[in-house]
Structure 1
Amino acid sequence: MTLPVSARMGGLAMAFRAMAYWLVRYRRTWRGTIVVSVANPILFLLAIGAGLGTLVEGSVEGASYLAFFAPGLLAAAALQNAFVEAGFVVNSALRRERIYSTAAATPLEPGHIFAGHLIFIALRLFLSAAAFVVAMALFGLIENIVVALAVTLAATLTGLAFATPLAAWAVTVADFPQLNTVFRFVVMPMYLFSGTFFSVEQLPGPLRAVAYALPLWHGVDLARTLALGTATLGMSLLHIGYLTALCAAGAMIARITYRRCLHE
């Protein structure tokens, strides 16, 4: 059943009200997030790309190692930021700080609470990616503002493709250490074997097929080809469609899990 336009607009307005809380909170805590979301990836870019990368002879997929590595690290950093914001923060908002429970006592519905928090996470991902892209531009890795915006949006979509289903699951987690287990045994292997540090073409055939199926590889390849100017319409649409499908699936699951957990 399709909701009337007025109802949809009202729901969007409520979602932005929920987002407003996270914006006010972020005004007080943004300094503490800079190290994890911005400074760490940029320092990693300096150490690996501009430091160790200078020892790599020749080119990787037709580009210098720094030009190859930086967009991959950008997508991987979006994954890391998404895990923090949609994993640890979402779980804490329900279980420890009781932020969600307080919001649920207002006219906000569980769907509004989820949507508002997700909009804020998208903003956080975009700003962190934009800061990283500025650093890339200082290294001469970004040609113009159009490429910069495209790469930033690619990284943001990559982060959202993880954040949306992750939030849908994290809100159900009663044992906080489960999040650390998933980070160690799911996120970190994906971080290492999705083409961030080396071309997946170097992997054996079966492992290469697994790498191509990983969501992070789609984000890495999308950001990298856009940054290097080698993107094709077909592959870009494939990457965007894959990542968007994950966002849509996560949103549908979250509608169920948020309602269930907030109405307990």
Structure 2
Amino acid sequence: MAARVVGPLRAALLGVEAQWTWYRRNWRATAITNFLQPVLFLLAMGLGFGSQVRPGEATGGAPYAVFLAPALLVLTAVQNAMFESTYAVFSAFKWQKTYLGVVATPITPAQILYGRLLWIALRLLSGAVVFLGVATALGAVTSAGAVWGVPAAVLAGMAFSAPVVAFTATREKPEAFNGLYRFVLVPMMLFAGAFFPLDQLPAWLHPLAWLTPVWHGVELARGAAFGTLGPAAALGHVAYLAALVAVGVLLGRKYFQRRLAV
């Protein structure tokens, strides 16, 4: 009897179902990182430190907490994407060997990748919605346009996640993730215009910031919240982030196939 063929969408949804089955029993293990930590950061930086920052040209005339909230929405998504795209994926390859079991079924390596990326997108979406709700309750969100920061944050997170998932598929040891965190994620979060305008950095650093998904995500989220984002600029940011996702998917398919094909 021929093996049953599973369509890409059905396979991806099965992957999400498997992840949800685990997550609904173990969500407490990630609650602090995914939900509580960004709220505490908003309280400390936005309302604490921010109380010492006078509204001015650098903050668009808004209180610092209002200036910071859209950026934190994006930073939270990218930071959450880091773990979901590294250790969680590596464990499924190397430690728990979950993917080896799945690929023994009619589900293909590419479909495993799609399921993982869809799950990560849903995780980023839930985290962004919760953070936006809490930020609104704290008074750090003052415009209806801020809601567009949620898809901007998810897109920026996936623009980081997809290439990192592909990178993880090439690793035999997890030590490389420490360097990725220290030399890619942290500088990207600190120097891509989230905490202060990019024009306050030396001009030679600007092109490096422009390459990061964080800068594009922050520009989208903050521009939507402040009503300063033009259609052409929005389209450019979205196109760049979508291109990063596409590159990550193409590389991911290649490396998942190489590692899991039997």
Indicate conservation of the 8 Å contact 2:129/2:150, yes or no: yes
What is the RMSD of the two structures over their aligned residues, measured on CA atoms? 1.5
Structure 1, residues 38-69: CA drift from partner, whole Å, max 9, x if none? Answer: 10011000011000100012322332211111
Question: Aligned with 1:124: secondary structure?
Answer: helix
- Paired residue for 1:63? 62
- Paired residue for 2:241? 243
Indicate conservation of the 8 Å contact 2:146/2:221, yes or no: no
- Paired residue for 1:96? 95
Residues paired across the two proteins, number: 256
1:53 is the counterpart of 2:50: yes
Q: Within 5 A, what are the aligned runs for 1:202-221?
A: 202-221=200-219
Q: Within 5 A, what are the aligned runs for 1:19-98?
A: 19-59=16-56, 60-98=59-97
Aligned equivalent of 2:179, options 170, 181, 199: 181
Supply the distance in 1 between the matched residues of 2:122 and 2:197 (Cα, whole angstroms): 30
Supply the distance in 1 between the matched residues of 2:145 and 2:99 (Cα, whole angstroms): 38
**Structure 1 counterpart of 2:63, which letter?**
S
Supply the distance in 2 between the matched residues of 1:209 and 1:116 (Cα, whole angstroms): 33
Per-residue deviation, 1:140: 2.9
* Superposition TM-score, scaled by structure 1 size: 0.92
Per-residue deviation, 1:257: 0.4
Q: Which moved more, 1:24-33 or 1:208-217?
A: 208-217
Q: Which moved more, 1:134-143 or 1:223-232?
A: 134-143
Supply the distance in 2 between the matched residues of 1:45 and 1:141 (Cα, whole angstroms): 9
**Structure 1 counterpart of 2:187, which letter?**
P
Indicate conservation of the 8 Å contact 1:93/1:100, yes or no: yes
Indicate conservation of the 8 Å contact 1:194/1:216, yes or no: yes
* Superposition TM-score, scaled by structure 2 size: 0.93
**Structure 1 counterpart of 2:80, which letter?**
N
Q: Kindly tell me: are residues 140 and 36 of structure 1, through their superposed partners in 2, closer, same or farther at Cα, counting changes over 3 Å?
A: same
Indicate conservation of the 8 Å contact 1:194/1:211, yes or no: yes
Supply the distance in 1 between the matched residues of 2:203 and 2:247 (Cα, whole angstroms): 29
Indicate conservation of the 8 Å contact 2:169/2:256, yes or no: yes
Indicate conservation of the 8 Å contact 1:91/1:176, yes or no: yes
Query: 4+ residue runs of structure 1 moved beyond 6 angstroms?
Result: none
Q: Which moved more, 1:13-22 or 1:245-254?
A: 13-22
Indicate conservation of the 8 Å contact 2:194/2:218, yes or no: yes
Question: Aligned with 1:47: secondary structure?
Answer: helix
- Identity within the alignment, %: 39
Indicate conservation of the 8 Å contact 2:192/2:209, yes or no: yes
Per-residue deviation, 1:148: 4.6
Indicate conservation of the 8 Å contact 2:148/2:224, yes or no: yes
